[in-house]
């Protein structure tokens, strides 16, 4: 399998629908599953890209949704799916799919909401709920790319993540984020909780707002590359606040997930 990251925009071929096989399913949180997929001929992807998943019923009825790729470019294709109770596709992916099942998908898609170390830093990531998924792909890629790099290289692309969740149990990639931050002083992570805070929590406990962003983000003069992802209302509030804080709008990239914060 080709493991080198390939810029998707340089592909000459159209992105075709393919059949992927589920090789493992892992519970990340009570409502979130990681699906690891084997995709023959997968061309690789850039952090931040997504795939379209298409389900077809016996009578031909189809439903299609987009899911951000969670894995870094060098790894196997993994999607992280949040189960939405009233969703049409997500409950199938989280509850019905089993190892060995096949699922139709196409990708990688999207060259706009992508980041890799070649783009440079500082990198400021703002995540709401399952919006963490494409941003995690960026952090995983960053960690892998800088693994053998020297301290100076790391300091050239420092990263900060502001991650909003309802409660501690809903934080996806909890232990992995802790480990990444622990191993790398150039990565800082701030959490905020909107419904319940963990015992003894002294950090943020409210929705992401302008004041919080002013505290956590780099000053606009540093010209950080900013990526905001999550439910549409949260993304709009954060993006508006960042521009009000004088960040260059051209450096603020958003990926709205729609009203419920995840593809249904």
Partner 1 sequence: MTEPFVSRAFRGRRQTVPTAGRLPPGQYETRDFPVLSAGPTPRTSVAAWDFTVGGPAVPLARWTWDEFQALPHETVTTDIHCVTKWSKLDTVWEGISIDTLLAEAAARGVESAPYVLAVCDGGYTTNLPLADVTRGKAWVAVSYNGAPLAPEHGGPARLLVPHLYFWKSAKWVRQLRLMERDKPGFWESFGYHNYGDPWREQRYSGDP
Partner 2 sequence: MNGNDKYASERQSIDESAGEATRLDGNAAAGILSEVFVPDLTTARATCANCGTIRPLGALFVYAHGMGMVMRCPSCDAVVLRIARTRTRLWFDLTGARVVFMATEALAVA
Nearer to partner 2, 187 or 235 (CB): 235
- Asked if 255 is part of the footprint of partner 2 (rule: CB under 8 A), the reply reads yes
Which of partner 1, partner 2, none binds 50 (CB below 5-8 Å, type-dependent)?
partner 2
Which of partner 2, partner 1, none binds 250 (CB below 5-8 Å, type-dependent)?
partner 2
- Asked if 40 is part of the footprint of partner 1 (rule: CB under 8 A), the reply reads no
What SS3 class is residue 78? strand
Rg (CA), the chain: 18
b/e burial code for range 233-262 (CB count within 10 A of at least 16 → b)? ebbebbbebbeeeebeeeebbbbbbeebbb
- Asked if 56 is part of the footprint of partner 2 (rule: CB under 8 A), the reply reads no
Sites for partner 2 among residues 100-129 (CB under 8 A): 106-107, 109-113
Please give the structure tokens belonging to residue 35: 């699906």
Q: How many residues bind partner 2 (CB under 8 A)?
A: 38
**Max Cα-Cα span within the chain:** 58
Report how far residue 35's alpha carbon sits from residue 55's, in angstroms, rounded to the nearest whole number: 15
Please give the structure tokens belonging to residue 264: 């249904």
Please give the structure tokens belonging to residue 69: 């790729």
Report residue 199 CA to chain centroid gap: 27
Sites for partner 1 among residues 77-106 (CB under 8 A): 88, 92, 96, 101-104
- Asked if 16 is part of the footprint of partner 1 (rule: CB under 8 A), the reply reads no
Residue 29 sits at the vertex; the CA angle it makes with 26 and 30, to the nearest 5 degrees, is 100
Q: Which residue has the tokens 């420092």?
A: 158
- Asked if 35 is part of the footprint of partner 1 (rule: CB under 8 A), the reply reads no
Q: How far is the CB of 88 from partner 2 (least distance, A)?
A: 13
Which of partner 1, partner 2, none binds 141 (CB below 5-8 Å, type-dependent)?
none
Q: How many residues bind partner 1 (CB under 8 A)?
A: 15
Binding stretches for partner 2 (CB under 8 A): 6-15, 50, 52, 66, 106-107, 109-113, 232-233, 236-237, 239-240, 243-244, 248-250, 253-259
């Amino acid at each position: 399998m080709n493991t080198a990251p390939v810029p998707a925009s340089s592909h000459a071929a159209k992105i075709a629908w393919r059949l992927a096989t589920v090789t493992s399913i892992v519970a990340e949180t009570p409502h979130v599953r990681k699906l690891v997929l084997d995709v023959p001929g997968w061309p690789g992807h850039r952090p931040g890209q997504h795939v379209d998943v298409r389900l077809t019923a016996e009578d031909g009825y189809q439903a299609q949704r987009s899911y951000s790729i969670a894995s870094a470019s060098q790894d196997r294709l993994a999607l992280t799916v949040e189960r939405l109770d009233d969703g049409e596709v997500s409950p199938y992916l989280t509850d019905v799919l089993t190892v060995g099942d096949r699922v139709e998908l196409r990708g990688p898609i999207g060259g706009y909401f992508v980041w890799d170390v070649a783009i440079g830093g500082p990198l400021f990531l703002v995540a709401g709920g399952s919006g963490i998924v494409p941003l995690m792909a960026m952090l995983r890629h960053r960690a892998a790319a800088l693994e053998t790099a020297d301290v100076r290289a790391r300091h050239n692309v420092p990263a900060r993540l502001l991650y909003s969740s309802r409660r501690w149990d809903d934080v996806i990639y909890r232990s992995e984020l802790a480990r990444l931050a622990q191993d790398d002083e150039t990565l800082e992570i701030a959490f905020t909780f909107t419904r319940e805070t963990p015992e003894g929590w002294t950090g943020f406990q409210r929705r992401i707002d302008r004041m919080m962003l002013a505290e956590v983000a780099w000053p606009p003069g540093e010209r950080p590359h900013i990526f905001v992802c999550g439910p549409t209302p949260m993304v709009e509030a954060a993006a508006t606040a960042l521009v009000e804080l004088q960040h260059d709008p051209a450096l603020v990239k958003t990926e709205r997930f729609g009203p419920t914060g995840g593809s249904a």
